[in-house]
């Protein structure tokens, strides 16, 4: 009976996620057993619906307010649940989170989690990613329509920030990342779970020297701060982090509430090709790379000397050298501006475009 409740809980989490690649198998059970005790996992069985209010949970469990809140806080602190205000009300609902990327992120970045437990979690997540690669590669043709039509666009690209000298001692940030920061009342800074996982596996990030690179806002920012997953920072600190990320060649990605582009921004991640779960899911043949952008990089071939820096820096491998000149694949360019910022010859510019959708099917891996 004890083993069955873990399987049941795993199935509920997979069903709530809507993700066809991460399965209710031994690996997910091992993840839950690393994070939770038996009392907590029994409580999760109440989530026949993925979202429940406090009152609904109280009626289901018979727990008093104090005990119920303690249980909910313990599960939120382990990244299994998130509290979220129901739109146009003051009522909170508690959401069962998906294994990837939610539980992956929230469980790893908790500040007070023992390092040995984090290393164990990193190994489990790596196993999950390998299993997901196998699922995609084995069922590639059947999954492509699901990837294209059913999975949401998770993020849109914000170009790296440029600065205009207004006076000798002042700079004016022009691009969208800083504008988004200026609109926030709550800003949380946390470790990047992708960079952290790679470091725990002995393969640290090759792009960034600092793994504190994830910014969260609004309700998610509050959640991170309250549950020891992030620390509150000022707008100036957030802008400094964006500037450091720009110098390192990271890509600014913006996320929205409920993955809906007409809702509030809730996070900016500063991503690298070598660690980012979204880039790596594409390169490892798990997921497509699917994003929106309103920019595209352009090159002045008369200035290009064929140094290859842009080829090395491009996170989506959209640039190649042909006869000593850089050439861009505009169907792959995500408009991040990394190549523009790092071109030593100033041979590149970033042009504003109509909103473009970039969809790249997961790579087919050699068997």
Beta strands in 86-234 (DSSP E): 92-96, 155-158, 163-167, 170-173, 187-191, 212-217, 231-232
Which residues 6+ apart lie within 8 Å of 255 measured at CB? Answer: 154, 155, 265, 266, 267, 268, 269
Instruction: Check which CATH number belongs to the domain holding 194 and give it.
Output: 3.30.70.20
Do 69 and 207 lie in one domain? The reply is no
Residues 98 and 178 in one domain: no
CB 329 within 8 A of CB 319: yes
- Same domain flag for 88 and 211: no
Walk along the chain (367 residues) and give the pLDDT tens digit of each residue. Answer: 588 999 999 999 998 887 778 889 999 999 999 999 999 999 999 999 999 999 999 999 999 999 999 999 999 999 999 999 998 898 999 999 999 889 999 999 999 999 999 999 999 999 999 999 999 999 999 999 888 876 555 556 666 554 322 222 211 223 667 888 999 999 999 999 999 999 999 999 999 989 999 999 999 999 999 999 999 999 999 999 999 998 999 988 888 877 676 788 899 889 999 999 989 999 999 999 988 888 899 999 999 999 999 999 999 999 999 999 999 999 999 988 899 999 999 999 989 899 888 899 999 987 5
Tally of helices (H runs) and strands (E runs) in the chain: 15, 15
Residue 240 inside a domain? The answer is: yes
Q: Are residues 105 and 246 in the same domain?
A: no
Find the length of the chain. Answer: 367
Same domain, 53 and 83: yes
| Residue after which a domain boundary falls, among 138, 163, 180 | 138
Looking at the fold, whether 52 and 99 belong to one and the same domain comes out as: yes
In a domain, 209, yes or no: yes
| Total domains, the chain | 2
Residues 168 and 232 in one domain: yes
Residue 367 lies in a domain: no
Looking at the structure, do residues 186 and 253 belong to the same domain, yes or no? yes
**Domain boundary residue among 90, 105, 138?**
138
14 lies in which domain range? 2-138
Among 138, 166, 182, which residue terminates a domain? 138
Residue 366 lies in a domain: no
Same domain, 133 and 60: yes
Same-domain status, 176 and 232: yes
Residues 175 and 299 in one domain: yes
The answer to whether residues 259 and 154 touch, using CB atoms and an 8 Å cutoff, is yes
- What is the DSSP pairing of strand 155-158 with strand 319-322? unpaired
Does 260 share its domain with 336? yes
């Amino acid at each position: 009976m004890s083993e069955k409740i873990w399987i049941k809980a795993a199935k509920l989490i997979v069903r709530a996620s809507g993700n066809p690649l991460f399965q209710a198998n031994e690996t997910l059970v091992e993840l839950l057993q690393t994070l939770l005790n038996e009392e907590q996992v029994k409580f999760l069985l109440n989530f026949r619906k993925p979202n429940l209010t406090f009152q609904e949970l109280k009626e289901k469990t018979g727990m008093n307010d104090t005990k119920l809140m303690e249980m909910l806080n313990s599960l939120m602190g382990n990244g299994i649940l998130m509290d979220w205000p129901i739109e146009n009300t003051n009522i909170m609902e508690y959401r069962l989170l998906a294994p990837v990327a939610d539980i992956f992120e929230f469980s790893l970045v908790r500040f007070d989690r023992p390092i040995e437990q984090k290393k164990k979690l990193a190994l489990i997540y790596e196993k999950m990613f390998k299993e997901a690669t196998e699922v995609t590669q084995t069922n590639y043709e059947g999954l492509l329509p699901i990837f294209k039509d059913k999975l949401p666009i998770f993020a849109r690209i914000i170009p790296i920030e440029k600065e205009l000298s207004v006076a000798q001692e002042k700079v004016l940030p022009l691009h969208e990342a800083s504008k988004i920061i200026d609109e926030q009342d709550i800003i949380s800074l946390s470790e990047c779970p992708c960079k952290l996982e790679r470091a725990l596996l002995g393969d640290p990030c090759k792009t960034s020297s600092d793994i504190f690179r994830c910014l969260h806002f609004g309700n998610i920012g509050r959640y991170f701060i309250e549950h020891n997953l992030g620390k509150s920072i000022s707008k100036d600190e957030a802008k400094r982090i964006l500037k450091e990320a720009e110098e390192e060649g990271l890509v600014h990605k913006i996320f929205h509430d409920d993955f809906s582009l007409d809702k509030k921004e809730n996070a900016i991640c500063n991503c690298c090709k070598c660690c980012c779960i979204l880039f790596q899911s594409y390169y490892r043949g798990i997921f497509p790379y699917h994003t929106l952008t309103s920019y595209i990089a352009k090159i002045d071939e008369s200035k290009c000397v064929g140094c290859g820096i842009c080829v090395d820096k491009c996170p989506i491998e959209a640039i190649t050298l042909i006869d000593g000149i850089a050439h861009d694949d505009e169907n792959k360019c995500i408009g991040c501006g990394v190549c523009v910022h790092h071109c030593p010859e100033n041979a590149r510019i970033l042009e504003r475009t109509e909103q473009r959708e970039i969809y790249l099917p997961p790579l087919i891996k050699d068997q």
